[in-house]
Amino acid sequence: MGEALQEREQKLNRIRSLAAHQEKMNALGVMSASLAHEVGNPLASVGMLLLTLSGYVLSFSWLFYPYKSMR
């Protein structure tokens, strides 16, 4: 009976260890996804602002053609 109890305790310890490891991996995955999101957000915003700015520059570039021809 003592041996069976010892085996059961070892199995329970392995299961607890595995559950703790899975929790750590889950937390690491959530943290990584959050970090990637926070890094990606500003980069996407800067990209959209640059795209919008280039559109404005192109749409107002006709204003500068008369000055170019005067040179």
As given in the structure block, the two tokens for residue 49 are 């602002």
Q: What is the pLDDT of residue 29?
A: 92
Q: What is the pLDDT of residue 55?
A: 85
Read off the pLDDT of residues 7-66 as tens digits, 9 standing for 90 and up. 999 999 999 999 999 999 999 999 999 888 888 788 888 888 888 888 888 887 777 776
- Integer Cα distance of 59 and 55 in angstroms: 6
Q: What is the dihedral of CA 55, 57, 59, 65, to 10 degrees?
A: -150
Q: Does the structure show a pLDDT above 80 at 69?
A: no
Domain that holds residue 53: 2-70
What is the end-to-end Cα distance of the chain in Å, rounded? 103
Prediction pTM value: 0.54
Cα-flanking dihedrals φ and ψ of residue 70, to 5°? -75, -20
Q: How many structural domains comprise the chain? A: 1
